Amino acid sequence: MTFQHWQRRAMEGMLQALESRVNLAKAEALSPRLQALLSNRQKILNTRKISARLEQIELARKEEVAAKPQ
């Protein structure tokens, strides 16, 4: 595991520790800060998946063009 991974986990833990218990009484599961942190992480993961898929498509097209007799 990398330093960045542990740093992110520490930040999440600190945000959760700062979380007031009032939000739980209002039936809100996460604080706005923690929701923003998690949505940011989700965007990064989605972007990586999309980028990887686009690379696969580009490689497949290049192989198709190379294999096609002219």
All residues at 6 or more sequence positions from 33 whose CB lies less than 8 Å from its CB, including other chains: 15, 18
How many angstroms separate the CA atoms of 33 and 15, rounded? 7
Average pLDDT over residues 13-35: 70
- Judge whether residue 24 has pLDDT over 60: no
Question: Are 31 and 15 within 8 A, CB to CB?
Answer: yes
Overall number of domains in the chain? 1
The model carries a pTM of: 0.44
Place of tokens 């989700």: 42
User: 41-50: which pairs have CB atoms within 8 A and are 24 or more residues apart?
Assistant: 41/8
Domain range spanning residue 51? Answer: 3-67
Tens digit of each residue's pLDDT (9 = 90 or more) over 27-59 = 566 777 888 888 888 888 888 889 999 999 999
